[in-house]
Amino acid sequence: MKKKQRILRTVRRVILWLIIIMAVSWAIFPFYWAIVTSLKQPGVLLTKPSLIPYLQFDPTLENWRLEFTNRWREIGRALSNSLMISTGATTLSVMLGTIAGYGLASFRFTGWKNKDITMWFLSQRFLPPMVTAIPFFIVMKNLNLLDTQLALILTNATFTIPFSVLIMRDVFKELPRELEESAWVDGASRWQSFWHIALPLAAPAAAAAAVICFAFAWNEFLFALILTYKDAQPVTVLIAGVEHTQGIQFWFVATRLLIAILPPALLALTAQRYIVRGLTFGAVKG
């Protein structure tokens, strides 16, 4: 009997490891494809499939050299635009989301109940962005904001604010009420208790919300394609536009993809200890 149980445990462990290996391989393969593709000559890439350097093809850094010499001005401007847009949208989202989340956690509204307001914010995540593309275009056109970083900052902030609100609302709800009440007894105002007590305690969750909002704003493509055409184009539009008369230049797509991944990846690694906690806090409660 014990021998059979050991065999079953071994089989379960083997199956579990096979599932883990398959999941990790599925997640890592696009990055491996991009790295391998960036090291191929166009002729090799377009004639025969090959995934193993030195065995199936001779790797080269020519694509990287061309990107960092002939095209770096264009890539640098796109990266700068993405950085400014993502940082601006993240700052705006976290600031407004923190204040709104604190209000939903600390006050009880009667006309429009707290639960309804929270569900409205949650519903914004299910709204297809394409539905609002034309209205956003018309608004930005009337405000003379087409092809500007500000247009994308406002647009991205609109769609990332719900993350901040939901995350910060639940964080503030979990903070002990007695901390702020003791500050009020000592003569502190509502704003002082928020600024000096609640906000420092919620800082890790705010950092997690910032990472999430930054990632969404950095990867946004639809509104960047519609609202920009030259000066304010972010890196996502630049990657999608790598083509010539003979087709898509996949070797340059791969190099620019790897360059574009670096900033958000470094940010995520820096703040990784806050991300899980922030996502946990983001669960909507009644």
CATH of the domain at 154: 1.10.3720.10
Comparing 89 with 4, which gets the higher pLDDT?
A: 89
Q: For residue 92, tell me if it sits in a domain.
A: yes
Q: For residues 15 and 24, what is the distance between their CA atoms, to the nearest angstrom?
A: 14
Give the tokens for residue 27.
Answer: 């997640």
On whether both 87 and 201 belong to a single domain, the answer is yes
pLDDT at 284 (0 to 100): 44
On whether both 26 and 151 belong to a single domain, the answer is no
On whether both 92 and 119 belong to a single domain, the answer is yes
Against a cut of 0.75, is the pTM above it? yes
- pLDDT of 10 higher than 60: yes
Task: Report percent pLDDT > 70 for the chain.
Answer: 92
Average pLDDT over residues 90-111: 90
Comparing 224 with 122, which gets the higher pLDDT?
A: 224
On whether both 237 and 260 belong to a single domain, the answer is yes
Range of the domain at 21: 2-60
> pLDDT by residue (tens digit) across 157-203?
999 999 899 888 888 888 888 888 888 887 888 888 888 888 888 88
On whether both 210 and 185 belong to a single domain, the answer is yes
Number of domains in the chain: 2
On whether both 56 and 91 belong to a single domain, the answer is no
- pLDDT of 277 higher than 70: no
Give the tokens for residue 118.
Answer: 């929270």
Q: For residue 65, tell me if it sits in a domain.
A: no
> pLDDT by residue (tens digit) across 25-66?
998 998 898 898 888 887 777 777 777 777 777 888 888 888
Highest mean pLDDT among 16-20, 114-118, 257-261: 16-20
On whether both 17 and 135 belong to a single domain, the answer is no
On whether both 161 and 201 belong to a single domain, the answer is yes
Task: Work out the pLDDT band at 221, boundaries 50, 70, 90.
Answer: very high
On whether both 138 and 217 belong to a single domain, the answer is yes
pLDDT at 96 (0 to 100): 94
Q: For residues 28 and 125, what is the distance between their CA atoms, to the nearest angstrom?
A: 27
Q: What is the CA radius of gyration of the chain?
A: 24
